Amino acid sequence: MRQSARTACMMRLASALMVACFGASANADELRWTHFGVRPLGMGNAFVGQADDFNALYYNPAGLAWLKTWTFEVLALRGEVSANTTGAIGDIMNLAKSGSGSTDATIELIQKQGGKPLGFNLGLEPYFVSPGFGFAVAVEFPTQLTFHNDITFDVNAGPRFYVPVGIAGSFFRDRLAAGMNAKIVGLFGVDRTFDIDALTNLSSGTSGSGSLGDYVLGGYGVGFDVGLLFRPDAKKDTTFGISILDFGGTKFTAMSTGDSVTGAPDVRLPAVNTGLSFKPVKTENHYVSVNADVVAINQPVHYSKKINLGTEYGLGDFLKVQAGLHQGEWTAGVQLDIMLMRLRLASYAEQLGTAAGQDEILSDRRYAMHLNLFL
């Protein structure tokens, strides 16, 4: 009987993890106004005014106009994990080593993680950019799971994709750049709270009475982004940027699976973003850039989650080091270009509460990696 209870408990825990893995939406309190790049995240996610690499396709398409050369990354692997997740994995491994799989031990493990967001993300991000033109395909599989002490689980998980195609031009002797994107955005996944009964039904194969739309959100839409960059002196690197992403709102068409239709995701609201970037130090071999952004100005989110500050040091063509503040939390990053390999690493925190610094348990520290083979 004891072994049976232990097995049942572990089955429920495994079911929760399976739901998380195969169940896309971001957390409802996460300010997700575009697809975030690893390099921008290292510099506090302040990139609207700088926009000087392929990430311009996501932050400000006007940046394509001032690119100096073309870049094509065919192998662009991305991985991301939260500090809470690595801690939970360690606790699960310790529980497995101890051989204590009892109901009490499992519940104690869940309670220890109570309220903490656990997440990870895997993806591919190939792209091509050149002066005045670019396109990318970003496919992600984000997963977020939050345990609660009443033995319920919030699950936000599933694949999503962004396919932007952008054009840009430079005007007034290179003092003004303007650009726009057309993009396809899609997501499919679970955004739901599960209790023990629901998990027991999942593990036993018992189907619920609700429709597919009660469990799954899925859809695709076509959206548009526009952006401007202005520099008072074409020979200087002080720029002012503004971008409006999801101009007019991006609506989703629900997906059909057989005879069922998923629930349609909410409309992606327009995001009005502004940025300032300047380089107090610039020589042939190295530079220092300083950036400040205010993002999603028009969205009903606390102002403390909209301010991003960042800096970057670049040495030649092979090293970039970033630091910054994102939602009141420190960020750091590094980019190494060695032969045909490019490695980006970043650490940042996303505040899932209402305001930055509001709740330590809802500060989700994350570690991101982007590995590329480029030409």
- Round to whole Å and give the CA distance between 28 and 252: 17
Which one has a higher pLDDT value, 39 or 20?
A: 39
- The secondary element (H helix, E strand) that includes residue 143 is strand 143-148
Which residue, among 359, 337, 369, 364, has the nearest Cα to 348 in the 3D structure?
A: 364
**Tokens linked to 232:** 């008072």
- State the CB neighbour count (10 A cutoff) for residue 338: 9
pLDDT in tens, 4-34: 444 444 444 444 443 333 333 344 468 889 9
What lies within 8 Å, CB to CB, of 75 at 6+ separation is 126, 371, 372, 373
Phi and psi (nearest 5°) for 70?
-100, 155
Taking phi first (over 0 means left), then psi (-120 to 50 degrees means alpha), and beta for anything else, what does residue 172 get?
Answer: left
Query: 44 with 324: CB under 8 angstroms?
Result: yes
Whether the pLDDT of residue 51 is over 80: the answer is: yes
Tokens, residue 92? 């699960």
For range 153-161, the mean pLDDT: 84
Q: Which domains are delineated in the chain?
A: 2-374 (2.40.160.40)
pLDDT over 50 (residue 1): no
Average pLDDT, the chain: 84
H/E stretch holding 235: none
For residues 203 and 49, which has the higher predicted lDDT (pLDDT)?
A: 49
Least confident stretch, 74-88, 196-210, 273-287: 196-210
State residue 151's pLDDT score: 67
Tell me which of 63-67, 156-160, 356-360 is least confident.
Answer: 356-360
Alpha-carbon span 363 to 353, nearest angstrom: 8
Note the pLDDT of residue 118.
86
**236 pLDDT tier (thresholds 50, 70, 90):** confident
Q: Does pLDDT of 357 surpass 80?
A: no
Under the banding of pLDDT at 50, 70 and 90, the label for residue 100 is low
Note the pLDDT tens digit of each residue in 108-147. Answer: 776 677 778 888 999 999 999 999 999 999 999 998 888 7
Mean pLDDT throughout 305-332? Answer: 95
Q: Which helix (H) or strand (E) holds 115?
A: none
pLDDT over threshold 80, residue 61: yes
173 class by beta-carbon count within 10 Å (0-12 exposed, 13-18 middle, 19+ buried) = exposed
For 92, 150, 266, the CA distances from 252, given in Å and listed in that order, are: 38, 34, 7
Rounded to whole angstroms, the Cα distance separating 359 from 307 reads 18
The pTM (predicted TM-score) of the whole model is 0.85
The mean pLDDT of 160-174, rounded to a whole number, is 96
Average pLDDT over residues 169-176: 95
Residues 128, 133, 137, 143, CA torsion sign: positive
What pLDDT does residue 193 have?
A: 75
Q: What gap in Å lies between CA 375 and CA 72, rounded to an integer?
A: 6
Provide the 3-class DSSP secondary structure of residue 308.
Answer: strand
Report d(CA 140, CA 136) in Å as an integer.
Answer: 13
Query: Residues, the chain, total?
Result: 375
pLDDT greater than 60 at residue 359: yes
Separation in Å, CA 169 to CA 41, 107, 145, 301: 26, 59, 43, 33
pLDDT of residue 65: 98
What is the pLDDT, as a whole number, of residue 265?
A: 85
Among 56-65, 162-171, 210-219, where is mean pLDDT lowest? 210-219
DSSP states along 74-112: EEEEEEEEEHHHHHHHHHHHHHHHHT---HHHHHHHHHH
Q: What is the pLDDT of residue 11?
A: 42
Encoding tokens for residue 147?
């345990």
| pLDDT (0 to 100) of residue 190 | 79
| pLDDT > 90 in the chain, percent | 55
